[in-house]
């Protein structure tokens, strides 16, 4: 139990949609920071991920310190569950515990969007900002630089 008082508290925090930060990836995908860990007391991080047609995505990888879940809202997202790639239409869900291999991409000819949930709410937006900056500046990272970037953000190639 994390709340022990007898009466409820006035502690909810409203966050209007217009206040959410977003970053544009090199693929043209947009990550919208709906509820990063900084506003959920580190309990979870919730992000919208909007992908144009054929946008690609994240190759197979895993994380050591947080779980990741995907909920497809529109279109079809190709999800990797550690064993196979599946075409996941709107309404499909994938949960990946710590250490679980996974990936995602939009190989379809139509836009797609999903919610991504990280738990606990690590500062995943820092990673997304770095990816967006690399794309915006046109920097080309070496394999060693990619490995370092991934490791700093608890992301390991599978």
Q: How many CB atoms lie within 10 A of CB 121?
A: 20
Q: Is residue 38 part of a domain?
A: yes
69 beta partners: 95, 117
pLDDT band at 85 (very low <50, low <70, confident <90, very high): very high
pLDDT tens for residues 118-129? 999 999 999 999
Residue 116 CA to residue 93 CA, distance in Å, equals 10
Q: Is residue 45 part of a domain?
A: yes
| Per-residue pLDDT, 1 | 84
Q: Is residue 132 part of a domain?
A: yes
Q: Is residue 7 part of a domain?
A: no
Q: What is the mean pLDDT of residues 91-95?
A: 98
Total number of domains in the chain = 1
Q: Is residue 8 part of a domain?
A: no
Q: What is the mean pLDDT of residues 31-50?
A: 96
Q: Is residue 9 part of a domain?
A: no
Q: Which domain holds residue 133?
A: 20-157
């Amino acid at each position: 139990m994390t709340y022990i008082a007898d009466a409820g508290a006035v502690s909810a925090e409203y966050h209007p949609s217009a206040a959410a930060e977003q970053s544009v990836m090199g693929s043209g995908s947009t990550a919208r920071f709906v509820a990063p860990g900084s506003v959920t007391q580190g309990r979870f991080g919730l992000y919208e991920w909007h992908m144009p047609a054929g946008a690609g995505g994240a190759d197979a990888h895993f994380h050591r310190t947080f779980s990741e879940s995907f909920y497809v809202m529109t279109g079809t997202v190709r999800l990797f569950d550690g064993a196979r790639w599946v075409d996941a239409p709107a309404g499909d869900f994938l949960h990946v515990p710590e250490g679980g291999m996974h990936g995602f991409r939009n190989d379809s000819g139509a836009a797609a969007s999903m919610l991504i949930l990280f738990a606990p709410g690590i500062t995943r937006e820092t990673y997304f900002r770095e990816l967006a900056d690399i794309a915006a500046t046109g920097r080309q990272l070496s394999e060693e630089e990619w490995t370092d970037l991934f490791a700093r953000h608890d992301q390991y190639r599978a």
